[in-house]
Amino acid sequence: MNILKPVIIVVVMCYITGCWSVTTSLEADLFEKTIGNTSEPQLIDVRSLAEYNDGRLPGAILIDIRQTTFDSLIQELDRGRPVFVYCRSGRRSLEAAKILEKNKFKVVYNLEGGIIAWKAKGKPIEL
């Protein structure tokens, strides 16, 4: 029992302080619905500027994961509000989600299949 006490204390402290964060990957329909049901969602396109200019999800802001400014720009986001990330196919956005988790963002959603899956479902695109 003496060995379990420190483990229990760490688990309880993480629960209380919210030190765990988890990325949830959602398919396009559920991603759109979850954004719609979220007060003040932070929708982040992690693609390049050229990709962003070719079309993006309505309301998305660009924070290119391949730019050296990525880490500093995510610091301007609100850690207390859900963050929705996407890219072309879902690979870069998963990478971005892991970085957001390491930076203590509590709720992160990834668009499974990226904008390719979004377009395949006939979802709206903004130019």
Q: Tell whether 16 is covered by a domain.
A: no
Q: Tell whether 14 is covered by a domain.
A: no
pTM exceeds cut of 0.95: no
Q: Tell whether 9 is covered by a domain.
A: no
pLDDT above 70: percentage of residues in the chain? 83
Q: Kindly name the residue from 28, 44, 60, 87 that is annotated as catalytic.
A: 87
Task: Provide the pLDDT for residue 22.
Answer: 81
The 10s digit of each residue's pLDDT in 39-97 is 999 999 999 999 999 999 999 999 999 999 999 999 999 999 999 999 999 999 999 99
Q: Tell whether 12 is covered by a domain.
A: no
How many C-beta neighbours within 10 Å does residue 17 have? 9
Q: What angle do CA 123, 126, 127 make, to 5 degrees?
A: 140
Indicate the number of domains in the chain.
1
DSSP per-residue codes, 68-85 = TTHHHHHTTS-TTS-EEE
112: CATH: 3.40.250.10
Q: Tell whether 54 is covered by a domain.
A: yes
Q: Tell whether 55 is covered by a domain.
A: yes
CA–CA distance, 106 with 119 (Å, rounded to integer): 28
Q: Which domain holds residue 108?
A: 21-120
Q: Is there a contact between 97 and 46 (Cβ–Cβ < 8 Å)?
A: no
Q: Tell whether 41 is covered by a domain.
A: yes
87 noted as active-site residue: yes
Tokens of 13: 């402290």
Q: Tell whether 86 is covered by a domain.
A: yes
The 10s digit of each residue's pLDDT in 22-35 is 899 999 999 999 99
The residue written with tokens 């880490």 in the block is 71
